[in-house]
Structure 1
Amino acid sequence: MAAPLSPVFAGRTAELAALRDSWSEAAGGPSFALVSGEAGIGKSRLLAEFTAGLDAGTRVLTGECLELGGLPYAPFAAVVRGAVRELGAAGVAALLPGSSPELARWLPVLGTPPPEDGAGRGRLFEEVLGLLEGLAASGPTVVVLEDLHWSDASTRELVLFVARNLSTTGLLLVATLRAEEAGHLGSLPAGLARAPGARRVDLPRLSAVEVAEQLAGIDGRPADPAEVARVHRRSEGIPLFVESLDRSGEGMSASLREQLLGGLTTLPDRGRAALRAASVIGVQVPHDLLVDVAGLEPATADEELRPLVERALLIPDGHGYRFRHALIRAAVHDGLLPGERVRLHTRCATALSALPGEHSSALAGHWDAAGRAPEALAAAWRAAGVAGESHAHTEQLRWLERVLAGWTAELGVPKVVVLEAAEWAAALAGEPQRGVDLATAALAELDPEREPERVAALLDHRGRLRYRIDGLGLNDLREALTLLPDGSSNISRGNALASLAGAHLSHGDLDAVDAPAREALRIGRAAGDRAICLNALASIGMRLVLLGETVAGEAALREAIAIAEQHGEPDLHTGLLFYLARAHAEAGDFRRCAEASERGLTLARRFGLDRRRAPMLTVFLVEAHIALGGWEAARHALRVALSTEPTALYQGLLHALRGLTEVAAGDLAAATEALDLITTLPGGRPEVLLARRVELACRIATDGGRPADAVLAEAAATDPATVMRPWVFLPAVARVTTEPDRWRGYADAAPARGPLQRAARATALARLDGADTAGWDALTARWRDLDLPGETAECLLSAAAAAAADGDREGAVRRVHEAVELAEGFGDAGITARATALARRLRAGPARPADFGLTPRERDILALIAEGRSNRAIAAELFISVNTVGVHVSRVLAKLQASGRTEAAAIARRAGLLEG
């Protein structure tokens, strides 16, 4: 092992050990560490100590996210450059598939990138992953990604992709993050925490003892207690400030800038000027650029810069320098005078413009800071193009928004072109509402009579985006087709037809699906356009499934999936898996539904499509878990999906399903909260949510909660032909309605195709008409054949009640015993309670073993109480409100007859309630 890097490194024993543990674990599988802490806390210093202690021959590659922006994926591009420096371009290219790598867009020395075909982003992600795993195969490798708090969205997606998909040994991925600047990162930290082999290393501030250790390391003499106390108080335990503070603590301003820059007044004038120029360039400072911007003479530049290096303000790094800490750079930049700032940013932009390579992102920032709007606008337009070519669509949208905000005719690009580009970027970035707004603005700029195909394309895009938001969009798609009669561009018409077919499918208008879908398929095949073909096949296959022709429909879907998989079309592939999951759900095959949903979610996570595809796939995954009794898996999937900020339509569907899990847990208050939330969500097609709202309201009413009168009246007044999936709620309605005649007609009119839908309608009619024992036994067999334990148990209970009414106590007891066993295994509190109650009335033997009468939700609460969780922490874990948690805690204490949380935990342990 190498010697420690510096005696100034103090404390951090546990944190350094954690990193070393992660490195040891990398020998057996994927390993990832996220080092988190505030600015100046020593994240980079910890990594320097860790990497210095690695065995000789261990490869360390580092990339940084830059505060002032730059090319998307900047830290990964730096890692690839480091690999090229070590292995040569040929060595790196040998680790990449094919002869036309996407990584050549970053480093042209790697070859010629392939033409853009819509699937490049997926290939790029795969290439980065393959390169890292190839490097690990050639020798132990540590990859460090610094300052994720400054990362662009595309970098964050790639970090998450790599962390989740690493499968090799001998590779440790480490990332650093400023905790106080992580708010804009959304679910990234949580997503990284779920990566295989993940470990989080949080750096606290130094204690007084550790500050004394650091002070002793600075000058080799021990600090007396008064010195330590003063420095610890002023530095607040932040290592960077400990180094910067005068030990006496006298005469030093408490302001951060003075702490960081108090010694700059003793620098030579040229040195101070160079440091100010460096602060304009950024945290990373190329030597030649600094010489140019600072106006240094090349022959004497080294000597003029040496004082900055000797005082560790700038650290030599490759072909340039970096600031010892980003806070130093920020403090210097903040101290620039207005005229000085304009002058230096202008010089920096001018110098960058003369350098080879693509610097448009940085140029936009410098020209903007210099007040040169036309140049900043042109650079932002170029930066948007670079981001789009790199598949960094979130950054592309951000740059295009900047262009739109300052657009003038001087740009030389019509505003409508910028709007069209931004609309497309918004769609790809998973921001459908912004895409709708941009498409609307673009349409206002165009004349449909002069440019019908262009207008039709925008209407097509807007219609599809509206479907992702609230299920609307059909009128846009119809209007698009009126502008594209026979003889117009085949591809434009094919796209519009495929979109229209999908819209009719979404509305349940199956008769209107087939003709546009088959015409789109013909056009797509003739034009060789895979996207049109796959979208058309999806509609054709799903229509067949909904008509009850399951085998033929699934065959069409699988044909499309095979094409998407073969040609690397991850977005279309995940969409097709959604249709396959839905097909299995419609057929009642929930195990295969869960499998298809999981495949789609894995693919979406792998290619950074979570925001676009995860909510829709999760709907059917959760539906499958609920049908099969996988309540905890359903809750976990819901928490993950809701954290991605889905559109209102999918929020509604997910919260409705969440409500069903709350009912199953015996938490009717939380279920009612979910129902009320769905009612207030904005949305243009309430019929899409109606089935789930009705089902949830009826389940709440069945288990003793709020009556479902209002939603029942709304549903009964709705034409069953327009309601999406009425068979989902009909059995639940039949259990609580006081108007059986009204609902009997509704059930007769609702379409029912396939064994699941027919069983649901038959069950509803049996409840409305009062079936006899034989009828309920037949329905029990149908649900058992479908392998759905919840409905099987419900029918057994009805059969038992019917047998008891006929005087057949032995038959009633036999059926209720089976129902109790099924209900307990299924884990639904409401069904279990009804089954147990009927067993007691029939004196059919003991109910469940003594558990103090706790519901499943109350047992969840009790387990978290035993872990020492607060009410707020329990609310966050179970996705319910703090007030609801308080009610449950009170009930738990009352049922256990415990005086407090500690006693409740002890009683639970003695009773074995926390086992399993």
Structure 2
Amino acid sequence: MSVPPTERATFRFAEFEFVAGDLQLRRDGALVPIARKPAQLLSLLLQNRDRVVTREETLAALWPDVRVSDAAFHSVVRDLRRAVRDDARQARLIATARGHGLRFTGSVEVWWDERDGPAQAVGAYVGRHALIARLHAAFESACASHGRVVLLRGIAGIGKTRTAKELAEHARSRGAAVHFGRCWKPGFAPPYRPWVELLTSILSHTGSGHRAHLIRDIETPLARLLPAAGGQPGVHEGEEQYARFEVFDAVATLIERASRAEPVVLLIDDLEDGDAETLELLEFVAARIASARVLLVGNFRAGSVGSGHPLFRTLTRLSRLSHCEDHTLTGLDAGETLEFLQAVGPGEPTAEAAEALHLRTDGNPLLLSLFARSGGPAPGRVPNEHAVPSLVREWIRGRLLELPQECVDVVEGAAVVGRVFDATVVASMLERTLAQVTEALDTAGLQGFVAPVAPPVHRFVHALFQEAIYDGLAPERRTELHRRTGDTLASLRREELTASVARHLVAAIDLVGERAVDAAERAAEVAHRRLAFEEGVRLREMALQSFASLPHPDPTRRCELLIALGRAQLAARRVEDAWETARRALALASETGTPQQFARAALLLSDYVIAESKEPASILEEALARLPVDETRLRVQLCTSLSFLLWYQGMPERRLQLAREARRLAFGLGDPRAEINALLAERHALLGPDHLAERIERATAALALAERHRLATHECSVLSWRAVDLLECGDAVGTQVDADTVGRIVESGRGQRFRPFVKRRAAMRATIAGRFAEAAERIGEAHDLMVRAGDPNTSAYTGVQMGMLLHEQGRRDELAKLLASARWLFAYREHISAVAAAVALIEFEAGSPGPARSLIERTAGHADLLGQDPEAFGTVSWLAEICARLGEAATAARLYEWLTPYGDRVSCFYGLSCRGALARYLGLLARTAGRLDDAERWFAAAVDTNRAIEAHVYRAWSLWNWAETLALRDRCDVARAHALAAEARALADELGIGRLREAMRCSHSALLATPEPMG
């Protein structure tokens, strides 16, 4: 018996990988020395792992036409066992069936390189010379470190895959490494499958030394995508999206590193079938390879991609890349059709016959090859892409009639399993022997339906073949085959098959009932662990829809399914969808559910603190009222979340009451996470200016808990808030130590949700220091990270930071456009007084003083309410400038009295922005109120504080405001005023503080407008 052709197969078992074509064995990536005969024996056993391989078969395969001794045979077996670290007495991989032979018993995964594949069956590549020239040019560009993305689109059978493989052969001939991956319809394979295939191929074709270099520093995120490479690490709650970003970054990094050794070509087939995660990773990698020696080629069936298709969004984003090109394949012309028919045979077609066939098929290579092989004419012209599947179905129906019924049964069963299928699965579901199924597949292969990949794995030669056979099944038979397939796959108990099990059982729900719902839920849990959050949503929706189709569905379980769907949607950052799902769950829980379900549904609404939180806050209040007092854990969660949601609702007493109740209950649970969250809730409820020391104390206590229990995400959260408090104190060193600690945790691979915080914090520091170009870059990086994670606060956070930057630069027109397009601004302006005051000042400077005057009128007489404002210092900083502009002495005097006790503080707005020393704003208020001595004292203090915290923008402003104040005196210290103004002017020019330079130009002070006298 000769070894079946498995040149394209890579077998993975235990800690080993075996590349059949090269007879190479690797252990944990390192090459294992193995002689040729033991390697051939391993290949034989892996191919036939479903059965015992007899001694006679082995001898015939390894030593054809040669007689060898028993000693030689046993020596090869012994060498193989030694290579794979197996023991004959306690075999874990290779078992001896005494008197029969050997069998491979280890668990095996098979990957294959489809560099040849079904498209090779059409023979030589014909025509499309201009397209091939452009593809070759794209490859040459990639070789020169100008990475390219190539999209090939066209109708079914037009030759997309064949064209990609023609390009691949050219690239191989030029020394490139070519790797292939195929997208699978959701439910047919785990998410990210093509990327797993690509990365496996890259690592499998890499020596151990270079492999170690490729995965240096990225082993942990890669293990999330390639669990077999090192186990699947857990994901900390709340940082799922950022963990996924880390995986994406690791994939792109590995590909970039691989391209430094040799050009890399990545081929991804059937993009229209790609799951959402696969497509998002495609977008990420495509953007990253612009300066790498990488050519990324993806093809898809154009007619399948409408505006609602997931690929449509990906194509839109890819089209914005300057290094992406998109090609549409059309049919062969008449001359190329003749050449094609001559290549595929049989016989020698005439030009007239070729012309007739061309007219009927529009030169579609798949149809041409089918009708050429069948020897019959094409029935009618193919008018558009939708007619191609119908013609293929017609051809298949005719060919199926020529097959024995036993063969038809096997092919139909295989079509239910999927385009790529394992013959052992088909045998089990049909209750036949593997030999019977293999014989039937051999017959089907002769008729052009299927082809072996790495036996027992086979595939349909084209997706249309599998689809046509599947669609032709009678509904009852299809349902029964789905049930059998689902049961067979479930019996294998392999995690990567859970989505497939769910797909089949849901298709057979009339036969299996609630088992289908259970399977979909299990698959959703697996998807979540694998960071496939959109897949998790799809499976949760499948579970819910399946459950609804059951007779007499239990409303309590339906509520549970809705809550689970809402959580999945939040993980996928589909916040609006999650809120809608939460409302459905709340309505159901209110009618037929339990108080606990109502509470858990309500908590779905508290994932983010938002400016407009009246609705979720009222629902959480209701949930708290419904919940029994002994439901301690849920009460802690509700109290904590509700305290957060009341941030902008003007209810400080209620917030503090809730936070303290949460803390009291949490410390009886023995749950450090609950304790930390409760301490943070209390910290947030103590936001008044008189509670700074208490806030720092609560944060420090929470930090100790997080450090003790090694809770990285919570540690980062606490540090990010304590950094704000320390900055408010003017403790520049302490706040930077906390921020740097967050950065180190993030770089270690933990606390990934705080990656944007690190960038935002750097942007804030750069902005107040006057490093505006650096600030803009960090803002952009934070924005990209938040977009990638689907954070709904992205626009608001980016807008606040970019608005502060543009404001100080004096880029008034750009700032106006930013604010005009900011959808988030309405709610922020309505509920956050600091934002309202900032926008009022900006509008005043732009020539619209009305909002500023109205704000001052509302503020007059109500300065005492600032103590309830979570962002009171930020609010007063903007009001101080407005009062100065309007000359509002009375309001300035009231604000001055309120702010005076806090003159040593710094104005902060979360970790987003900083307005420098409050002493500056006390100076402005004092000057406006006519208290010039106090104003000078405060401006001097502001200069010192702003220098200490490296807020050079506000140091420059403080110097200028001080100079202006001196100039107001009847007996002015002219030299001092000029010196201060000169220092301010030099800083403004050096840093590019356009707003300050404009203020200097518009100054009403004749003294400051006059150059300093010489001598």
- The alignment's TM-score, normalised by the length of structure 1, stands at 0.68
Alignment counterpart, residue 55 of structure 1, candidates 166, 172, 175? 172
Structure 1 residue aligned with 2:672 = 491
Asked if 1:264 corresponds to 2:381, the answer is no
1:476/1:308 CA distance change after superposition, 3 Å: farther
C-alpha deviation, 1:378, in angstroms: 1.7
Asked if 1:456 corresponds to 2:618, the answer is no
Partner letter of residue 347 of structure 1?
A: R
Deviates further, 51-60 or 291-300: 291-300
Per-residue CA deviation, residues 729-777 of structure 1 (Å, 9 max, x unaligned), is: 43663487596644664466466734455445645776787999x99xx
Asked if 1:340 corresponds to 2:470, the answer is no
Q: Distance in 2 between matches of 1:10 and 1:740?
A: 83
- The alignment's TM-score, normalised by the length of structure 2, stands at 0.62
Asked if 1:283 corresponds to 2:419, the answer is yes
Per-residue CA deviation, residues 104-146 of structure 1 (Å, 9 max, x unaligned), is: 6766654544566668757755654565456546654322233
Structure 2 residue aligned with 1:635 = none
Partner letter of residue 352 of structure 1?
A: L
Alignment counterpart, residue 500 of structure 2, candidates 362, 367, 373? 362
Structure 2 residue aligned with 1:639 = none
C-alpha deviation, 1:363, in angstroms: 1.3
Alignment counterpart, residue 720 of structure 2, candidates 538, 550, 572? 538
C-alpha deviation, 1:360, in angstroms: 1.0
Alignment counterpart, residue 697 of structure 2, candidates 515, 529, 532? 515
C-alpha deviation, 1:193, in angstroms: 6.3
Q: Distance in 2 between matches of 1:156 and 1:432?
A: 20
Q: Distance in 2 between matches of 1:7 and 1:584?
A: 60
Deviates further, 495-504 or 260-269: 495-504
Structure 1 residue aligned with 2:813 = 664
Structure 1 residue aligned with 2:573 = 430
Partner letter of residue 475 of structure 2?
A: P
Q: Distance in 1 between matches of 2:638 and 2:670?
A: 15
Structure 1 residue aligned with 2:488 = 351
Structure 1 residue aligned with 2:525 = 385
Q: Distance in 1 between matches of 2:746 and 2:820?
A: 41
1:792/1:469 CA distance change after superposition, 3 Å: same
Structure 2 residue aligned with 1:67 = 185
1:61/1:99 CA distance change after superposition, 3 Å: closer
Deviates further, 818-827 or 584-593: 818-827
1:462/1:227 CA distance change after superposition, 3 Å: farther
Q: Distance in 2 between matches of 1:154 and 1:469?
A: 38
Q: Distance in 2 between matches of 1:672 and 1:60?
A: 48
1:330/1:698 CA distance change after superposition, 3 Å: farther
Q: Distance in 1 between matches of 2:464 and 2:843?
A: 55
Structure 1 residue aligned with 2:53 = none
Structure 1 residue aligned with 2:834 = 691
Structure 2 residue aligned with 1:13 = 130
1:97/1:789 CA distance change after superposition, 3 Å: closer
1:530/1:729 CA distance change after superposition, 3 Å: same
Asked if 1:203 corresponds to 2:327, the answer is yes
Q: Are the equivalent residues in 1 in contact too, given 2:181–2:269 (CA < 8 A)? A: yes
Partner letter of residue 879 of structure 2?
A: L
Q: Distance in 2 between matches of 1:280 and 1:737?
A: 77
C-alpha deviation, 1:401, in angstroms: 4.7
Q: Distance in 2 between matches of 1:12 and 1:609?
A: 42
Q: Distance in 2 between matches of 1:590 and 1:193?
A: 31
What's the secondary structure of 2:522's corresponding residue?
helix
Deviates further, 447-456 or 465-474: 465-474
C-alpha deviation, 1:421, in angstroms: 6.2
Asked if 1:726 corresponds to 2:866, the answer is no
Deviates further, 240-249 or 319-328: 240-249
C-alpha deviation, 1:367, in angstroms: 1.1
Tell me the matched-pair count.
796
Q: Are the equivalent residues in 1 in contact too, given 2:422–2:458 (CA < 8 A)? A: yes
Task: Write out aligned runs for 1:92-131 (5 A).
Answer: 96=215, 110-114=229-233, 124-125=247-248, 128-129=251-252, 131=254
C-alpha deviation, 1:361, in angstroms: 0.4
What's the secondary structure of 2:161's corresponding residue?
helix
Q: Distance in 2 between matches of 1:410 and 1:30?
A: 57
Q: Distance in 2 between matches of 1:258 and 1:483?
A: 69
Partner letter of residue 545 of structure 1?
A: L
Q: Distance in 1 between matches of 2:646 and 2:281?
A: 28
Structure 2 residue aligned with 1:215 = 337
Partner letter of residue 486 of structure 2?
A: A
C-alpha deviation, 1:626, in angstroms: 1.5
Alignment counterpart, residue 626 of structure 1, candidates 776, 800, 806? 806
C-alpha deviation, 1:364, in angstroms: 1.0
Structure 2 residue aligned with 1:562 = 744
Partner letter of residue 568 of structure 1?
A: R
Partner letter of residue 211 of structure 1?
A: D
Partner letter of residue 456 of structure 1?
A: V
C-alpha deviation, 1:374, in angstroms: 1.6
Structure 2 residue aligned with 1:860 = none
Structure 2 residue aligned with 1:703 = 846
What's the secondary structure of 2:738's corresponding residue?
helix
Q: Are the equivalent residues in 1 in contact too, given 2:502–2:520 (CA < 8 A)? A: yes
Q: Distance in 2 between matches of 1:98 and 1:821?
A: 42
Higher CA-based Rg = 2
What's the secondary structure of 2:494's corresponding residue?
coil
1:527/1:823 CA distance change after superposition, 3 Å: closer
1:215/1:378 CA distance change after superposition, 3 Å: same
Per-residue CA deviation, residues 647-702 of structure 1 (Å, 9 max, x unaligned), is: xxxxxxxxxxxxxx6x4249x6x578447x55655x7x9433x4344433543454
C-alpha deviation, 1:44, in angstroms: 2.6
Q: Are the equivalent residues in 1 in contact too, given 2:176–2:264 (CA < 8 A)? A: yes
Q: Are the equivalent residues in 2 in contact too, given 1:542–1:553 (CA < 8 A)? A: yes
C-alpha deviation, 1:430, in angstroms: 2.9
C-alpha deviation, 1:223, in angstroms: 6.6
C-alpha deviation, 1:491, in angstroms: 0.4
Q: Distance in 1 between matches of 2:338 and 2:858?
A: 76
Task: Give me the CA root mean square deviation.
Answer: 6.1
Partner letter of residue 527 of structure 1?
A: H
1:148/1:355 CA distance change after superposition, 3 Å: same
Q: Are the equivalent residues in 2 in contact too, given 1:789–1:826 (CA < 8 A)? A: no
Per-residue CA deviation, residues 316-350 of structure 1 (Å, 9 max, x unaligned), is: 54444445554554455444432233123223223
Q: Are the equivalent residues in 1 in contact too, given 2:415–2:470 (CA < 8 A)? A: yes
Structure 1 residue aligned with 2:139 = 23
Q: Distance in 2 between matches of 1:216 and 1:837?
A: 84
Asked if 1:503 corresponds to 2:684, the answer is yes
Q: Are the equivalent residues in 2 in contact too, given 1:554–1:583 (CA < 8 A)? A: no
Q: Distance in 2 between matches of 1:222 and 1:745?
A: 100
1:18/1:566 CA distance change after superposition, 3 Å: same
Structure 1: runs of 5 or more not aligned? 632-660, 845-916
1:186/1:542 CA distance change after superposition, 3 Å: farther
Partner letter of residue 193 of structure 2?
A: A
Structure 2 residue aligned with 1:154 = 277
C-alpha deviation, 1:383, in angstroms: 0.9
